[in-house]
Chain A
């Protein structure tokens, strides 16, 4: 019974923790401009993140060490540094976007300017990382993040023409008002949002924090293979809500407040309350994860003592690194840059950095020395290679598409 409850909790937190500011914004933007014609990208992205997250969790469970630590050791400092540079910078950008996202969500609840909420949000993130246990932190944000299920409920309440939505999703085409370049630019952005690098590093480091062993591989696999796809369903629900309410009115999403409009239309004040709580939890949870990921990657590369299972004094550099990252994010937002713009760039740059993140994970997961008989099987490797090709294409196409379309304008 305890095991069943553990699995259920893991799945629920995986669903609630799947969405972050990148998913929220990109799916809403895409829904308001392209309808559901890019829903297939969410499917491709979710399969990809499931594939690499379970690989990363397995590496941690078998070796007892985080993926990044092994990458540094297995592939040497040069390859490790390339991986670190790409992942860390994207992580920092994502962290900035998440803190901005918390502030924007709190503005919806209070009308107080996000500029005033930003330092409060950053301080709260630091405080939770400093004081709260890893498992509590992860479970609470994941469970409260489940409030975002309200998007799926809103979709039903809006009573859409399901056949029309299905046609858009299963026979995708570029809408007449949009260019092919913009369509593919947002396809790359959506893919980057689903496969954000911090998720795998957080997942594998989290496995070490929670002291997973080989016995836990099954449970982690269920968490990923059930939780993430259901999180993907929520992503599609966000896009669908925008398709039904915003697209016909010609509203193109450029702020977080617009994402809430379809939910209010469908479910009134109660639904709005749920969605605001859900957005705060999702962005706060993702801010915690990105802050920790920043500390994890730096500490694991330089060989510092790390982990929340250690007292801060025993992992001083790890904690200082996280504080510095939070301050950098805070400084960027203090310039007055629009957090939504930061989010849009973070998901595209995520796509650019993907090969440097995922290729090393694949190599490590195939290393007999570390993995023994828990190495990748043939099917996993075949899927992973297909994904590496997709990742490479997305990565190469991202910058030219960004220039040609004026960042999807």
Chain B
């Protein structure tokens, strides 16, 4: 380690030595790379041990101070980058309503399929109930999202009004479906009602999804 002709760091010198002495004799490139990384790790470990044993407290504190400044600088840079990226990602009301329309349609289509399966007796009631419950929870989420979306332009107001109307219909129909399923009522009427609502949500999605 003492003879480092390039005058670089000890680690750099070791890597150079490995490259010169060993790599030439290793025909397999991949084994060479692994060997190199492996030796670098081993050297780093030896250096760490020596560092821990020999370094005095003052030098360690100085090193810590520098390192914490570097860490703080890095954190500020990452935070700034994230702010830039996030501000670039934020959209207006119409994309948010488009996304809500997609989520609403997905939930209603799910509920519709689950109820059709329950009606056809090809699934167990707990599975249909759970699926319906999850769909209702998802529609609730959409409702919250929609109510919290601020609108300014006329187009945004139109989108929100339309989505809210379809959403309210969906909430009512899903609630009826849950009641019917829990009560063990005949399901064909509820299934048909849900399919009609699913058509509406699909139309809403078709109209607003491209803007999401």
Contacts and interface: CB of A to CB of B under 8 A. Distances in A.
Interface stretch (B9-17, B61-69, B82-90, B164-172): B82-90
Interface string A343-386: 00000000000000001001100110000000010100110110
Counting chain B CB atoms within 10 Å of each CB, the highest count among A268, A381, A400, A406 belongs to A381
A108 interface: yes
Contacts of A335: none
A313 B89 CA distance: 54
Contacts of B86: 403
A305 interface: no
A409 B99 contact: yes
Nearest to A380: B30
Contacts of A384: 30, 34
B110 A251 contact: yes
A75 B41 contact: yes
B124 A269 contact: yes
Interface residues of A, number: 44
B31 A250 contact: no
Contact of B34 (A79, A362, A409): A362
A135 interface: no
A168 interface: no
B134 interface: yes
Query: Which interface class (under 10, 10 to 19, 20 to 34, 35 or more) fits B?
Result: 35 or more
Contacts of B122: 264-265, 268-269, 272
A382 B130 contact: no
Contacts of B48: 76, 78
A261 interface: yes
B123 A264 contact: yes
B23 interface: no
Contact of A385 (B30, B103, B125, B205): B30
A364 to B, nearest CB: 9
B19 interface: no
Nearest to A275: B127
Most buried by B among A108, A367, A406: A108
A261 B116 CA distance: 11
B45 A75 contact: yes
B127 A381 contact: no
A366 B31 contact: yes
- Interface of B: prevailing SS: helix
Which has the most chain A C-beta neighbours within 10 Å: B105, B127, B129?
B127
Interface string B111-139: 00110010001111111011100100010
Interface stretch (A11-19, A94-102, A252-260): A252-260
Contacts of B103: 252
Contact of B127 (A79, A257, A362, A376): A257
B110 A111 contact: no
A111 B129 contact: yes
Given A269-B124, A362-B34, A249 B89 contact: no
B77 interface: no
A378 B28 contact: yes
Most central of A250, A258, A376 by chain B CB within 10 Å: A250
A250 B125 contact: no
Given A265-B122, A381-B31, A404-B89, 14 more contacts: A75-B45, A107-B126, A111-B126, A111-B130, A255-B134, A257-B131, A260-B127, A264-B123, A268-B122, A269-B124, A362-B34, A367-B38, A376-B31, A403-B89
29 contacts: A76-B41, A76-B45, A78-B45, A79-B45, A108-B130, A109-B124, A111-B125, A111-B126, A251-B106, A251-B109, A251-B110, A258-B134, A264-B123, A265-B113, A265-B122, A269-B121, A269-B122, A269-B124, A273-B124, A276-B127, A363-B38, A366-B34, A367-B38, A378-B31, A382-B30, A384-B30, A385-B33, A404-B85, A404-B89
